[in-house]
A and B are shown apart, each in its own frame.
Chain A
Amino acid sequence: MNTMMVLATTKTIPDLLVFFVGAAMILVGAVGVIISRNPVHSALCLVLTLFGVAVLFIEQQADFLAVVQVIVYAGAIVVLFLFVIMFLGVDRTEELGEDRLRGQRPFAVALVLLIVASIVALGSEAKWSGGASSVVGPNQGPYQNVADLGKAIFTDYLFAFELTAGLVVIAVVGAVVLARRSADSNSDDADAQLLSAQGQPEGVDQ
C-alpha cells in the first residue's frame, strides 16, 4: 500500500513529472518567444517560460524565488511589456521570412549552437559543479527558505541589497526623464496616441 511512499523516497515520478512539465513549459515558451510574429504572442510565450522557471524553482526548493519570479516577472515586467506594446500600438506582425543580412540566420544558428554546445561540453566535463559548498549558508527547506534568504540578504549581501535601492531609484528617475514630454514636442498625447495608433491587433488570419 505504500507505493507512493516508495516513490517518494526513490523520488522520481512526481519529480520527473514536475521537471518535464517545467522544462516543456520553458522550452515551448522560449521557442514561442522567438518564433511568434506578433509581439503580444511573444510576451505570452515569455510568461509561459517564466512559469516554467518558477516551477523548476519550486522543484529545487527555492519557493520564495518562485513566487517572486511570478510576481515580478509575470506580474510586473511582462505586464509592462504588454502595456507598452498596446500603448504604442506596435503590435503588428513582423515578417519573419526576410533575412536582413544574407546568411545572418544560419550564422546565428551556428553561433548559438556553438555556444550552447561548448557550455554543455565544458559543464559536463566539470561534472556540472565543483565549488565549495555552503559558503553563505545552507538552504534549510521550504519553511526556512525565506528566513535563510532574508538572513543572507541582510548580512552577506547587505551592500548589494542597498545598491538595489539605488538601482531602483535611478530606474525610476530614468524612466521619468525618458517618458517626460518636453514642452515643445507636441504630438505626445497619450490618449491621442492610443487612438491614432492602429488599435487592431493583427491576428493569425491576416
Chain B
Amino acid sequence: MAHFTTSSSFPYIVLLLLVPLLGSLAAVLLPKKHSETARWVGIGASVVTLGLVIAMTIAFQTTNGGYQFVSQHSWASELGISWISGIDGISLFMVGLTALITPIVLLGASEKKRTKSYVAWMLLLEFACIGSFVSMDLILFFLFFELTLIPSYFLIVGWGGPKRAAAATKFFIYTFAGSTVMLVGILYVAYQHHQQTNQLTFSLLDLMATRYSGVAGVLLLVAFTIGFAIKAPVFPFHTWSPDTYGEAAAGTSMMLAAILAKLGAYGMIRFDLSLFPHASSVVAPVMLTLATIGIIYGAIVACAQKDLKRLVAYSSLAQMGFIVLGTFALSEQSLTGAVFLMLSHGIITAAFFLLIGWIAQRRGTWQLDELKGLQGPAPILAALFTVVMLASIGLPGLAGFVGEYLILIGTFVTHQWWALVATFGVVFAAIYLLWAYQRSFQGKAEGANASVKDLTMAERAIVAPLILLIVLLGVFPKPFLDRITPSVDRTLNQITIVNCNPHLVCGSNLLGGHTGMGTQSEMGK
C-alpha cells in the first residue's frame, strides 16, 4: 500500500486539527466578559486553519491520486485502532470547504448571546469535521464522525428557533442511530479482515484488501450507507433535516448544510466505494433510484415551502440527490462531478443561509409571505441572492453548473434513464428558486419590507469570497478538477477491475473484492 501514501515533513494535518481545537479551548477558558475577544480568537484560529489548507492545496501533488501528508501513529493498538490520517484529492476540498466556511460563519453569522460557547462549539465542530475528512482509520473516522454530533447538537440546542430542542434531539437520535449501525458494520469489516489475515486493524488501506461473500458485502454496504445517508441526508432518511435547518441559527445551518451533509456524501465515496467495490455496483441501482426520488421529491416539496430556510433545506435534499447520483453512477465523470458538486453546493448553501440569516436579521422573519420587494431597498442583497440562486439552479458559468453537468453526463453514460429523470430536477430547481425570488424580492416593498437596509461593507466583504468562488468554480474549474480526478480514478479503478475481470479479483490481494463461487456466478450473468 506504500505507493498510495505520501507523507510530508511538515505536520500539516496535525496542525490542521490542533489549531481549531486549541482555539476552542482558548475560547472556553476566556473570562466571561470577553465574549468579543472570544469571537476574534475563533476567527483567528479558523483563518489560520484556512491558511494552512491553502498552503496544502498548493503543496498538493496534482498527479498523485493517493493519500498525501500522511501522519501515522500508534494509538489504541489493543483495539486495533491507530492514528492514520491523510488527504487525497477528494478530501482536500472537503477540508478546504470546512476551513472556508467556519471563519465566514464566525464573521457573518455569529451570535450575540453566549458568544464564547458559540465560538467554542463552532471550532470544535470544525475540528471534528476536518478530523473526519482526514481520517484513514475507520474507527478514527467514526470517532470524529460521532464527535461532530456533540457540537452540532449543542449549537442547535443553544441558538435558534423556538422548537430547536426537539429538532436537536431528532437530529441527534437519527444520526446516532445511523452511526450505531455503521459501527457494527465497521467492526464486522475488521472482524472479516482479522479472520483472513489474523491481524486486527481498522486502517482503511489494509481493510480494502478484505474479501466478502456477496451477501455480507451488500449487508455491510447497507450498514455503512445508512449511517451516511442519514447524515447526508438522502431520501428517505431526510426527515430530520428540514426541521433542523429550519430551527437552527443561521450559522449552525450553514455548518450543517454546507459541511456536515458533505460528510455523509464523502463517507459514501470514501468508504462505500473503497471497501465494497463489488457490492457498490450491485447496490448502485437502488441508490440511484433513491437519489433520483430525492431530487424530484426535494424539488417538488421545495416548491410548496413558505419558509425560505426550509426551502433551501429541501433544495439541499435535491442537491444531495445529485451527489449521490453521481457517486453511484460509478463513472469517472459523474464521480468527479459529485465531488465537485459537493464543493460547490457547500459554498452555495453557505451563501444562501448567510444571506437568509441577514434577511432575518433585518426583517425578523424568513417567511416568504412576509417578505416582499426587497429588491428596492436592498439592491446589493438582491443581486448577491440572484447570483447564488442562479448558481444553485445550475446556470453555466457558475459553480453549480459544472458539477451537475458532469454528473448528468457521467450518469447518462452508464444509467441513462435515471439521468433523464434527474434532469427534471434541474428544471424544478429553476421553478422554485425563481418563484421564491420573485415572491420575496420583486414587487413593491411595503411596511417593514420597505425599510430594510442594504448590506453593509463588512457584510459585503464577508460574503465576497463565497461569491468569488462561485464564479471562479464556474469559470475556471480546472485547478480543482486536476486535483480531484486522480483520486476519483483510483477509487473507480477498483470497481472497474472487480466488475470487468472476475479472474483478477480472485487472484488479487491488493484490491480485494470478494470470494466464493456464488459471487463469480453472479458475475457471469
**Touch A–B, Cβ below 8 Å:** no
Interface of B with A (CB < 8 Å)? Answer: none
On A, residues with C-beta under 8 Å from B are: none
